[in-house]
């Protein structure tokens, strides 16, 4: 039952272990409650700093490396996320939330520069280059969406001269992450999705998951003082698959009602009959296999990984020991068990397909679900076009430990918070939980609000943070398409400081969901009405004045030629005109 | 120039003062006639779906097969809960929702209105859209008891079955909230208030889990018992609290899906048999106006609309051949349409009158009707203001060069002998000289009539404040005393104008001008208020406008008989009397209405009472005092 903690330690050790080979990959599968499965893919490629500086790339992708060099970026973190982590059911986040981003795209980097202006211009270079590389709208991260966090992020890597490093952070909460972002992600891998665990990554299944996040982290790692440094690039994909949904065939994904014969009815109910069926819950673990779940087979190991040792075990599954697992492959594989048999790892065959088959099974034991250190939820209150308020509810489930954390909000400029209305209340004590505040107010159309709060939440308490805000009225051209949807507000980032310390420098994070901010939106047909009305008035006015200016008004008696009116006059006029024409000719 | 001078001089013409009552009457007649022509094809339009994203009825629905067996089981489960306590019931309903792997929470609420204690419990579940980011949500509501107090067996079971079914789909772009409210009006109100954090935590519990901004809500009302009942039509209820309406696109989508895709007829405003004739359309429109004017909650959806969440209720009516699964598929298709929405519903109309399920009148067409009625009061107010500034006996015909008609008549009668006397009767003249030109004016025309504004203003303001008294009394009297209170208030208000007029006569002896000004101000307030109200709640403005029309025409009369008749007419149009007559006509008890009104005031945020007691009643009171003043002259 304690196995999960062992396992966490193990993961941490794996991540930290200094490398002998330069490329590692590992897929960890972990069944979660309610027939879901967490799949954590982790790929690490290393390049020595010397080789990197000489542009001698082996496992590190060249396209990516050159962008980093060009933008003088020393450490980089990119996140693409869809969906939300259901902490109530699924427990602690994978990697303690350190490899997770808010909904949409999130990016932060340490950039080497002499001044803030230089750092910002290099940041713009970076986001524009990455935008092209990942087919994402990262180029929309401009000054209004960029902040410089003070307490929320610390460098994961070892940096020699940290004084000239500038941390910049930008988010795009409205960005829809999809297959066009996965393809460039896979291209950065040495095996490019053709072999190894990355061959399981299929866009259809990945983006049908209940929660998925893709992360890229680049950091320099140095061994001791003055030791050799390597540049480590870590690519992570975490996804939570709904097993029943993923097992549906791709060409018929409709969840039709199953035939009544297949449904187990509760015959103990008095009304049970041929046409009435109270469905019984199945408590058995569902059956699944990798091919069915990921929509494609696992095509053996990536030949670049270690052949022996712990790093050769690229596929691990974390289940109770009693769970039956059958291996289906034609190649040579090896199984190792660790952490009281709750973790089974497989060394994959090279060049042969590999599949794990788990039959339906009634379980008597389960794994201990690690409870999250904090729960956080955030919502917009109030209604109307003028103002509203934001409420964040943060719960500490621990009965013994008070938790210290940093809460980071990055708000768009058109959402103007009133800082004097900021209230933080803890339900168990009257003490103000806010220890430190960092606030950088917004400047209209130039930068957004940046708010960081260091707070302490006592054991077993709920902290409610509220503040009011005013909605700005935008200019007509500042509204995006589909303006009536509202504007997305980036998720808040929470970083835990104490007492939970991660064993490495990654830190423990969680993020709230993003918010939808409805702004007063004009009726966009109005400008056209105004244009039409103005044009009409202009035309009438212009017509009259032009008439007055150009037309010559002549008294009737001054026109001798037109003395005769009526039909005769008309005929005379025609003849005159004809005469004139003939005369000229 | 000459024309201008003539027009200016017309201001002083006595005949011009005779015109406004006719103009007012014309406004009223045209206003009413305008409303009556609206049902004609030339003035109404066919409905259409404006929002392209909705694509109503473009998807296949799959809520069939074994889902029906499960639905029947859930309906039996619901039927078993009828006699259990609120706690047990919500616990069991929560368990059923939890079994579908949804996040479930409950909410207690307790309101006090008219001495009654409205307490119950909501249970709701959130289906987190697999690809959604918690920014948007749509709500499916089934109240435990419908508006008629029947247990909503099949409606609740349908929500449970749909929750289980919807959970299997991965295409939801928004969260779906399934709400089973304790009752049809206060329950949804408590829930939606708490969702927007606009509630009083003493009466309503906070919501433990929330989702994103609500984009729409659909309520189902299907009270068929555990053995089912096949229905004939869907009755779509759309009126919100205070006469606010949902976006017409939502209504159109529902009609289009139900009738176009599922083949279920749609009906509205309790018009069970609608043959699309002029009379039926007019009746539908008038029922809609009455419902809008009263502004009461008409179903579980009503509470959502003030929060700009478009909502409708689908009620099954009649005996036919449609079963619960067709209603389920209608809801499924409707949610698929709502799921398509990229933006909040905004394309279509928010102000409309429906004549039939697919015919409507838009605000631009119907608004002039109520505006004309309101304008009639403003015209009267201006006329009374002008009249109050005139000398008591104005010169008969100041611009005519001929002798006045009355003088010429008497001339004819009396013959030539009268010439002498006519010379004597000639008014005194004043000579004015400017730039060498000399003019003669009747001296009387140069007299300045000052308006004594103090008493009229104080009187009208006091009257409006006096309205607070019945407003307070009716909203805070416990139910057992309401009947007596109503009787007392109706008796007092009937004789109060007489008393007030008598007291005024005794202590202040107001001049005719002051009486005119009282009426002028009160009618002015009424006219301005009604024209503003017409843009918010057309029907209420129209109904009050029509019921207070006589206020434009009554005057202080020296003729006792005429005065008595006028007072009697006004006494019949006393708001209290109108309420009594209306409740009798529609077959409701007065107490029942007053209890609902008090509940509306305390729970739903209803404003109709404010309009009645602070706008309509003061105007009626001032008008009655003016008429009663003549009786004591």
Q: Kindly tell me if the per-residue pLDDT of B588 is higher than 80.
A: yes
CATH number for B52-276+296-351: choose from 3.40.960.10, 1.10.1060.10, 3.40.630.10, 3.40.50.11440: 3.40.630.10
> How does DSSP assign B289-356, residue by residue?
HHHHHHT---STTGGGGGGT--EEEEEEEEEEEE-HHHHHHHHHHHHHHHHH-SS-S-SS-SSEEEEE
Q: Which residues of A touch B209 (CB under 8 A)?
A: 377
Q: Which residue in the set B66, B74, B76 is minimally distant from A263, CB to CB?
A: B66
pLDDT score, position A35: 87
- Please state, in angstroms and rounded to a whole number, the distance separating the CA atoms of residues A41 and A315: 9
Count other Cβ atoms within 10 Å, centred on residue B567: 21
Query: Percent of chain B scored above 90 by pLDDT?
Result: 73
- Please state, in angstroms and rounded to a whole number, the distance separating the CA atoms of residues B106 and B491: 47
Cβ distance B170 to A103 less than 8 Å, yes or no, reads no
- Please state, in angstroms and rounded to a whole number, the distance separating the CA atoms of residues A36 and B537: 51
- Please state, in angstroms and rounded to a whole number, the distance separating the CA atoms of residues B461 and A222: 83
CA-based nearest residue in chain A for residue B99: A281
Single out the residue of A212, A215, A199 nearest to residue A44, CA to CA.
Answer: A215
pLDDT in tens, B325-345: 999 999 999 999 999 998 999
Spans of all domains in chain B = 2-36+369-390+449-631, 52-276+296-351
Single out the residue of A27, A9, A15 nearest to residue A348, CA to CA.
Answer: A27
Q: Which residue in the set A253, A279, A486 is minimally distant from B213, CB to CB?
A: A486
- Please state, in angstroms and rounded to a whole number, the distance separating the CA atoms of residues B59 and B65: 18
Count other Cβ atoms within 10 Å, centred on residue B362: 15
Q: Does B449 touch chain A (CB under 8 A)?
A: no
Residue whose entry in the numeric block shows the structure tokens 């303001």: B461
Cβ distance A82 to B64 less than 8 Å, yes or no, reads no
Considering only the C-alpha atoms of chain A, give the largest distance between any 2 of them, rounded to a whole number of Å.
121
Q: Which two tokens stand for residue B198?
A: 């606009």
pLDDT score, position A19: 42
pLDDT score, position A1: 40
Q: Which residues of A touch B216 (CB under 8 A)?
A: none
Cβ distance B133 to A84 less than 8 Å, yes or no, reads yes
pLDDT in tens, B150-198: 999 999 999 999 999 999 888 899 999 999 999 999 999 999 999 999 9
Going from the C-alpha of B463 to that of each of B459, B530, B573, B623, the distances in angstroms are 6, 17, 17, 11
pLDDT in tens, B63-118: 998 999 999 999 999 999 999 999 999 999 999 999 988 999 999 999 998 888 99
> How does DSSP assign A190-247, residue by residue?
TTTTTSSGGGG--HHHHTTSSEEEEEEEEEEEE-STT--EEEEEEEEEEEEEEHHHHT
Single out the residue of A232, A178, A196 nearest to residue A64, CA to CA.
Answer: A232
Query: Average pLDDT of each block of 10 consecutive residues along chain A (585 residues)?
Result: 45 43 87 90 90 87 91 93 89 89 92 93 94 91 92 88 89 88 90 88 86 92 79 93 86 85 86 88 84 88 82 87 88 84 87 89 83 91 87 92 93 93 91 93 92 93 93 88 88 88 82 90 83 91 88 75 66 83 71
List all residues 6 or more positions away from A462 whose beta carbon is below 8 Å from its beta carbon: A393, A394, A395, A396, A426, A427
CA-based nearest residue in chain B for residue A86: B128
A154: helix, strand or coil: coil
Alpha helices (H) in A304-376, listed in sequence order: none
Complex ipTM value: 0.85
A358: helix, strand or coil: strand
List all residues 6 or more positions away from A310 whose beta carbon is below 8 Å from its beta carbon: A14
Q: Say if CB B329 and CB B61 are below 8 A apart.
A: yes
- Please state, in angstroms and rounded to a whole number, the distance separating the CA atoms of residues B507 and B501: 10
Going from the C-alpha of B116 to that of each of B111, B112, B119, the distances in angstroms are 8, 6, 9
Q: Kindly tell me if the per-residue pLDDT of B410 is higher than 60.
A: no
Q: Say if CB B220 and CB A493 are below 8 A apart.
A: no
Q: Does B63 touch chain A (CB under 8 A)?
A: yes
pLDDT score, position A15: 44
The sign of the CA dihedral A498, A502, A503, A505 is negative
B97: helix, strand or coil: helix
Q: Kindly tell me if the per-residue pLDDT of B29 is higher than 70.
A: yes
Q: Say if CB B264 and CB B330 are below 8 A apart.
A: yes
Q: Which residues of A touch B74 (CB under 8 A)?
A: 278
CA atoms within 13 A on the CB side of A338: 15
- Please state, in angstroms and rounded to a whole number, the distance separating the CA atoms of residues B109 and B191: 9
pLDDT score, position B2: 61
Q: Which two tokens stand for residue B514?
A: 């002051």
- Please state, in angstroms and rounded to a whole number, the distance separating the CA atoms of residues A191 and A196: 7
- Please state, in angstroms and rounded to a whole number, the distance separating the CA atoms of residues B582 and B576: 10
Cβ distance A275 to B67 less than 8 Å, yes or no, reads no
Q: What's the start-to-end Cα distance of chain A, in Å?
A: 113
Strands (E), A478-536: 487-489, 493-498, 508-511, 515-517
Single out the residue of A245, A354, A255, A261 nearest to residue A302, CA to CA.
Answer: A354
> Rounded mean pLDDT of chain B?
89
- Please state, in angstroms and rounded to a whole number, the distance separating the CA atoms of residues B200 and B189: 12
Instruction: Kindly report the pTM of this predicted structure.
Output: 0.88
Q: Does B92 touch chain A (CB under 8 A)?
A: no
**β-pairing, B311-322 with B213-221?**
parallel
- Please state, in angstroms and rounded to a whole number, the distance separating the CA atoms of residues B233 and B288: 19
Burial of A544 (0-12, 13-18, 19+ CB in 10 A): exposed
Q: Which residues of A touch B69 (CB under 8 A)?
A: 260, 263, 265, 275-277
Q: Say if CB B397 and CB B14 are below 8 A apart.
A: yes
Alpha helices (H) in B38-148, listed in sequence order: 66-80, 86-99
pLDDT score, position B299: 94
Alpha helices (H) in A468-550, listed in sequence order: 526-550
Q: How far off is chain B from A260, nearest CA to CA, in Å?
A: 5
Domain A375-517 class? mainly beta
CA-based nearest residue in chain A for residue B164: A279
CA-based nearest residue in chain B for residue A177: B131
Phi, psi dihedrals of residue B300, rounded to the nearest 5°: -60, -20
Q: Which residue in the set B70, B128, B164 is minimally distant from A277, CB to CB?
A: B70
Alpha helices (H) in A270-344, listed in sequence order: 290-294
Cβ distance A278 to B64 less than 8 Å, yes or no, reads no
- Please state, in angstroms and rounded to a whole number, the distance separating the CA atoms of residues B235 and B322: 13
Of A320-329, B20-29, B208-217, B431-440, the least confident: B431-440
pLDDT score, position B401: 52
Q: How many helices (H) and strands (E) does chain A have?
A: 11, 26
- Please state, in angstroms and rounded to a whole number, the distance separating the CA atoms of residues B333 and B335: 5
**How many beta-carbon pairs below 8 A join chains A and B?**
131
Cβ distance A515 to B65 less than 8 Å, yes or no, reads no
Q: How far off is chain B from A401, nearest CA to CA, in Å?
A: 24
Q: Does B175 touch chain A (CB under 8 A)?
A: no
Burial of B28 (0-12, 13-18, 19+ CB in 10 A): buried
Question: In chain B, which among 592-621 make CB contacts under 8 A with chain A?
Answer: none
Count other Cβ atoms within 10 Å, centred on residue A387: 14
- Please state, in angstroms and rounded to a whole number, the distance separating the CA atoms of residues A511 and B310: 31
Q: Which residues of A touch B194 (CB under 8 A)?
A: none
Single out the residue of A409, A472, A34 nearest to residue A243, CA to CA.
Answer: A34
pLDDT score, position A11: 47
Considering only the C-alpha atoms of chain B, give the largest distance between any 2 of them, rounded to a whole number of Å.
109
Q: Kindly tell me if the per-residue pLDDT of B525 is higher than 90.
A: yes
CA-based nearest residue in chain B for residue A243: B168
Rounded (10°) CA dihedral B192, B194, B198, B199: 110
Q: Which two tokens stand for residue B304?
A: 């959502």
pLDDT score, position B425: 54
- Please state, in angstroms and rounded to a whole number, the distance separating the CA atoms of residues A508 and A497: 8
Q: Which residue in the set B131, B226, B343 is minimally distant from A82, CB to CB?
A: B131
Q: How far off is chain B from A375, nearest CA to CA, in Å?
A: 12
pLDDT in tens, B232-251: 999 999 999 999 999 999 99
Q: Does B213 touch chain A (CB under 8 A)?
A: yes
CA-based nearest residue in chain B for residue A213: B131
Computed on alpha carbons and rounded to an integer, the radius of gyration of chain B in Å comes to 31
């Amino acid at each position: 039952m304690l196995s999960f903690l062992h396992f966490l330690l193990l993961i941490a050790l794996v991540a930290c272990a200094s490398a002998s080979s330069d490329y590692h990959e590992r897929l960890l599968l972990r069944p979660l409650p309610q027939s879901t499965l967490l799949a954590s893919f982790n790929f690490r490629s290393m390049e020595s700093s010397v080789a990197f500086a000489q542009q001698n790339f082996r496992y590190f992708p060249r396209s990516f490396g050159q962008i980093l060099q060009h933008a003088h970026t020393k450490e980089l973190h990119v996140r693409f996320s869809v969906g939300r982590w259901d902490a109530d059911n699924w427990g602690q986040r994978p990697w303690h939330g350190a490899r997770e981003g808010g909904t949409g795209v999130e990016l932060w980097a340490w950039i080497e520069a002499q001044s803030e202006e230089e750092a910002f211009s290099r940041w713009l270079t970076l986001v524009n280059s990455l935008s092209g590389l990942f087919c994402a709208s990262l180029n929309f991260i401009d000054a209004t969406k960029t902040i410089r966090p003070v307490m929320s992020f610390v460098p994961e890597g070892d940096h020699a001269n940290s004084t000239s490093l500038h941390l910049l952070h930008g988010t795009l909460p409205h960005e829809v992450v999809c297959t066009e972002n996965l393809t460039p992600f896979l291209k950065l891998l040495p095996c490019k999705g053709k072999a190894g665990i990355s061959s399981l990554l299929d866009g259809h299944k990945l983006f049908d998951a209940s929660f998925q996040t893709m992360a890229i982290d680049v950091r320099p790692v140095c061994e001791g003082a003055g030791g050799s440094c390597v540049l480590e690039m870590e690519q992570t994909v975490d996804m939570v698959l709904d097993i029943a949904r993923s097992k549906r065939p791709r060409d018929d994904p409709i969840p039709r009602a199953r035939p009544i014969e297949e449904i187990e009815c509760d015959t103990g109910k008095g009304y049970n009959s041929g046409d009435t069926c109270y469905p019984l819950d199945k408590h058995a673990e569902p059956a699944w296999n990798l091919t069915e779940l990921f929509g494609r087979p696992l095509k053996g190991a990536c030949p670049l990984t270690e052949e022996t040792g712990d790093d050769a075990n690229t596929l691990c599954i974390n289940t109770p020991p009693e769970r039956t697992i059958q291996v289906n492959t034609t190649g040579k594989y090896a199984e190792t068990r660790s952490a009281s048999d709750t973790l089974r790892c497989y060394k994959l065959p090279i060049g042969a397909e590999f599949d794990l088959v788990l039959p339906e099974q009634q379980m008597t034991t389960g794994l201990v679900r690690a409870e999250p250190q904090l729960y956080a939820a955030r919502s917009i209150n109030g209604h109307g076009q003028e103002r509203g308020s934001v409420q964040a509810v943060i719960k500490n489930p621990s009965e013994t430990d008070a938790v210290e954390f940093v809460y980071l909000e990055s708000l768009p400029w058109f959402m103007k918070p009133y800082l004097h209305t900021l209230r933080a209340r803890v339900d168990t004590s009257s003490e103000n939980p806010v220890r430190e505040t960092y606030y950088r107010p917004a400047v209209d159309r130039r930068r957004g609000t940046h708010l960081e709060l260091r707070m302490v939440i006592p054991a077993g308490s709920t902290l409610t943070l509220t503040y009011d805000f005013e909605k700005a009225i935008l200019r007509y051209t500042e509204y995006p398409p589909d303006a009536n949807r509202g504007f997305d507000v980036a998720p808040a980032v929470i970083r835990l400081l104490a007492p939970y310390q991660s064993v490495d420098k990654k830190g423990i994070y969680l993020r709230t969901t993003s918010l939808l901010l409805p702004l007063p939106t004009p009726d966009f047909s109005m400008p056209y009405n105004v244009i039409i009305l103005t044009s009409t008035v202009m035309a009438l006015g212009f017509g009259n004045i032009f008439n007055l200016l150009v037309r010559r008004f002549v008294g009737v008696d001054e026109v001798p030629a037109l003395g005769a009116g009526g039909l005769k006059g008309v005929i005379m006029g025609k003849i005159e005109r004809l005469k004139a024409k003939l005369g000229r000719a | 120039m000459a024309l201008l001078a003539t027009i200016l001089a017309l201001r002083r013409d006595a005949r011009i003062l005779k015109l406004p009552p006719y103009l007012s009457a014309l406004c009223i007649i045209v206003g009413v006639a305008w409303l009556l022509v609206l049902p004609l094809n030339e003035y109404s339009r066919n409905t259409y779906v404006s929002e392209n994203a909705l694509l109503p009825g473009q998807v296949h629905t799959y809520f069939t097969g074994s889902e029906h067996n499960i639905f029947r089981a859930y309906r039996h489960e619901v039927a078993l809960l009828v006699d259990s306590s609120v706690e047990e019931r919500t616990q069991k309903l929560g368990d059923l929702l939890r079994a579908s792997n949804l996040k479930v929470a409950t909410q207690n609420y307790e309101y006090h209105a008219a001495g009654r204690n409205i307490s119950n419990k909501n249970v709701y579940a959130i289906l987190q859209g697999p690809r959604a980011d918690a920014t948007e949500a749509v709500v499916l509501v089934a109240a435990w008891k419908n508006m008629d107090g029947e247990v909503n067996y099949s409606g609740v079971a349908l929500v449970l079955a749909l929750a289980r079914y919807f959970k299997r789909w991965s295409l939801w772009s928004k969260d779906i909230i399934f709400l089973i409210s304790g009752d049809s009006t206060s329950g949804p109100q408590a829930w939606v208030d708490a969702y927007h954090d606009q509630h009083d935590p003493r009466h309503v519990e906070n919501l433990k889990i929330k989702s994103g901004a609500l984009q729409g809500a659909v309520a189902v009302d299907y009270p068929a018992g555990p053995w089912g009942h096949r229905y004939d039509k869907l009755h779509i209820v759309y009126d919100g609290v205070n006469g606010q309406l949902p976006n017409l696109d939502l209504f159109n989508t529902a009609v289009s899906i139900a009738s176009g895709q599922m083949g279920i007829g749609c009906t509205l405003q309790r018009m069970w048999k609608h043959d699309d004739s002029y009379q039926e359309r007019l009746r539908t429109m008038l029922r809609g106006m009455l419902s809008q004017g009263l502004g009461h909650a008409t179903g579980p959806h009503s509470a959502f609309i003030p929060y700009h969440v478009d909502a409708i209720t689908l009620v099954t009516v009649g005996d036919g051949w449609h079963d619960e699964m067709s209603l389920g598929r209608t809801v499924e298709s409707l949610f698929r349409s709502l799921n398509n929405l990229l933006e909040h519903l905004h394309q279509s109309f928010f102000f409309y009158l429906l004549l039939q399920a697919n015919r409507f009148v838009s605000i631009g067409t119907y608004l002039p009707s109520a505006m004309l009625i309101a304008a009639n009061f403003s015209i009267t107010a201006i006329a009374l203001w002008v009249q109050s500034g005139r000398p008591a006996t104005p010169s008969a015909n100041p611009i005519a060069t001929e002798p006045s008609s009355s003088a010429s008549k008497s001339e004819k009668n009396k013959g030539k002998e009268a010439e002498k006397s006519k010379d004597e009767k000639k008014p005194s003249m004043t000579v004015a000289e400017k730039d060498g030109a000399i003019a003669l004016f009747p001296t009387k025309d140069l007299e300045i009539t000052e308006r004594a504004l103090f008493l009229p203003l104080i009187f009208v303001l006091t009257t409006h404040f006096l309205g607070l008294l019945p407003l307070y009394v009716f909203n805070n009297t416990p139910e057992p005393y309401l009947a007596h209170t109503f009787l007392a208030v109706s008796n007092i208000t009937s004789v109060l104008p007489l008393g007030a007029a008598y007291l005024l006569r005794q202590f202040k002896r107001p001049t005719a001008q002051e009486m005119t000004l009282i009426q002028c101000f009160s009618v002015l307030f009424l006219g301005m208020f009604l024209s503003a109200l017409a843009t918010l709640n057309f029907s209420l403005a129209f109904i009050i406008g029509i019921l207070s029309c006589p206020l434009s025409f009554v005057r202080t009369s020296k003729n006792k008989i005429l005065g008595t008749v006028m007072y009697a007419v006004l006494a019949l149009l006393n708001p209290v009397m109108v309420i009594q007559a209306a409740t009798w006509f529609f077959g409701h008890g007065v107490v029942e209405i007053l209890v609902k009104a008090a509940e509306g005031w305390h729970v739903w945020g209803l404003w109709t009472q404010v309009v009645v007691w602070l706008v309509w009643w003061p105007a009626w009171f001032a008008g009655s005092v003016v008429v009663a003043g003549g009786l004591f002259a």
